[in-house]
């Protein structure tokens, strides 16, 4: 499939969809067009059965530096209410679609990931960073609170104290420290980033994607429920996945000492 033109590129290779932020001249900052295009691309990936894993990345020197502040200032000066609506109209649906994607999402972080850009990466299931990647919770620098779910995702990745430190001090975190904190899963040389993300995505796309979706949903449920409710929810999920073709195939392959071929059903 040929990538679509515009501020967000969407392509599919076998079971892997790659969504690329395509405003390299502004470090992939997010104007209204880019936010709407990103949400549309994520929803297409979520709703396409042939897509079994998703890569989110940026073109050029940066992953995504968050809100396009030039557009933001112009709209404020024009007394346009759009800046006040963008969190609920754009950022929240984007993050919910990433986190709720019924298939694995890999953030391939090249260069700077700041503000909402960093938050998008935190909402993914895997974060593979290039060696030159940096993360910046930049909101306090411009007199704002935090959006795009980082107050939920980041403490779960690195703990409350470190998350508060990064948000309040608004200092960049390089790839090595991000790995040490548990903010990313792995760091690779910049020139190997896209290949590594593609390899991981291909492995995941060949896996039991129905089970992956159930695991993601169970983790999200347990994050806000007690043990008893989580155990009951796990029972429902096990009953559902236990009746899947993938489970039957995997059990038979185990008995036969062969490698299973998963279909995601």
Q: What is the pTM of this model?
A: 0.91
**Residue 31 exposure: Cα atoms within 13 Å on the Cβ side:** 14
- Whether the predicted pLDDT of 73 surpasses 80: no
Name 262's bridge partners. none
- CATH topology for 209-256 is Lyase 2-enoyl-coa Hydratase; Chain  A, domain 2 (1.10.12)
State the pLDDT at residue 265: 87
- Mean pLDDT, all residues of the chain: 93
State the pLDDT at residue 3: 42
pLDDT mean over 33-39: 96
Listed in sequence order, the residues at least 6 apart from 195 whose beta carbon sits closer than 8 Å to its beta carbon are: none
Nearest to 38 by CA among 62, 56, 60, 59: 56
Q: What's the CA gap between 248 and 244, in Å, rounded?
A: 7
Nearest to 181 by CA among 163, 204, 158, 200: 158
Q: Is 88 helix (H, G, I), strand (E, B) or coil?
A: helix
Q: Is 109 left (phi over 0), alpha (psi -120 to 50) or beta?
A: beta
Cβ atoms of 91 and 147 within 8 Å: the answer is yes
- Whether the predicted pLDDT of 160 surpasses 80: yes
State the pLDDT at residue 85: 83
Q: Is 53 helix (H, G, I), strand (E, B) or coil?
A: strand
pLDDT mean over 215-238: 96
Residues 176-223 pLDDT 10s = 999 999 999 999 999 999 999 999 999 999 999 999 999 999 999 999
Structure tokens at 168: 């309040």
State the pLDDT at residue 79: 56
Domains of the chain: which residue ranges? 8-205, 209-256
Cβ atoms of 66 and 118 within 8 Å: the answer is yes
Q: What's the CA gap between 34 and 27, in Å, rounded?
A: 12
| Highest CATH level, class, for 8-205 | alpha beta
Banded pLDDT at 236 (limits 50, 70, 90): very high
Q: What's the CA gap between 48 and 59, in Å, rounded?
A: 24
């Amino acid at each position: 499939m040929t990538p679509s033109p515009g501020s967000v590129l969407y392509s599919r290779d076998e079971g892997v969809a790659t969504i690329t932020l395509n405003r390299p001249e502004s470090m992939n900052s997010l104007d209204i067009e880019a936010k709407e295009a990103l949400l549309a691309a994520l929803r297409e990936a979520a709703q396409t059965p042939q897509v079994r894993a998703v890569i989110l990345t940026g073109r050029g020197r940066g992953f995504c530096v968050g809100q396009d502040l030039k557009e933001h200032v112009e709209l404020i000066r024009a007394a346009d209410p759009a800046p006040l609506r963008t969190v609920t109209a754009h950022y929240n649906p984007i993050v919910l679609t990433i986190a709720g994607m019924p298939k694995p999402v890999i953030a391939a972080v090249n260069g700077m990931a700041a503000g909402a850009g960093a938050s998008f990466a935190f909402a993914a299931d895997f974060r593979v960073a290039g060696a030159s990647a940096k993360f910046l919770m930049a909101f306090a620098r411009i007199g704002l609170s935090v959006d795009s779910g980082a107050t939920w995702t980041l403490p779960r990745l690195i703990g409350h104290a470190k998350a508060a430190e990064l948000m309040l001090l608004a200092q960049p975190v390089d790839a090595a420290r991000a790995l040490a904190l548990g903010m990313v899963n792995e760091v690779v040389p910049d020139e190997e980033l896209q290949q590594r993300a593609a390899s991981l995505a291909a492995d995941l796309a060949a896996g039991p994607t129905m089970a992956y979706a159930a695991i993601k949903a169970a983790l999200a449920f347990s994050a806000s429920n007690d043990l008893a409710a989580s155990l009951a929810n796990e029972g429902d999920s096990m009953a559902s996945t236990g009746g899947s073709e993938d489970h039957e195939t995997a059990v038979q392959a185990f008995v036969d000492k062969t490698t299973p071929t998963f279909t995601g059903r």
